[in-house]
């Protein structure tokens, strides 16, 4: 297992409150790792989307909930 190290970065207060959730903080840590050590763009995008989906699952959303949110977002963007 990789060694994890805590770092401090400046964020807005609302972001700091959101990162108090351990699952969300872990997901953000994975995103930061991937941003700092990028691979192929397609891999990075896939990883970001999967981390986002996993965060939603951790928050109690089902795959159906996630798909409904994505559909609503797409419909809103078309207006």
User: pLDDT tens digits for 8-66?
Assistant: 999 999 999 999 999 899 888 888 887 887 666 667 788 888 888 888 888 899 989 98
Which pTM was predicted?
0.47
Residue 6 domain flag: no
- In this prediction, residues 60-78 reach a mean pLDDT of 89
What is the domain count for the chain? 1
* 50: enclosing H helix or E strand: helix 41-58
Residue 35 domain flag: yes
Q: Tell me the C-alpha distance between 16 and 48, whole Å.
A: 20
The tokens 């797409």 sit on which residue?
74
Residue 31 domain flag: yes
pLDDT of residue 20: 93
pLDDT of residue 1: 46
Q: What residues make up the domain containing 63?
A: 14-78
Residue 1 domain flag: no
Residue 3 domain flag: no
Does the pLDDT value for residue 78 go beyond 70?
A: yes
């Amino acid at each position: 297992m990789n060694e994890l190290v805590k770092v401090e970065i400046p964020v807005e207060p609302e972001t700091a409150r959101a990162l108090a959730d351990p699952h969300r903080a872990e997901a953000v840590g994975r995103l930061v790792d991937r941003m700092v050590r990028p691979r192929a763009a397609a891999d990075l995008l896939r990883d970001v989307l999967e981390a986002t989906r996993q965060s939603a699952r951790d928050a109690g959303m089902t795959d159906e909930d996630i798909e409904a949110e994505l559909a609503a977002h797409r419909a809103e963007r078309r207006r």
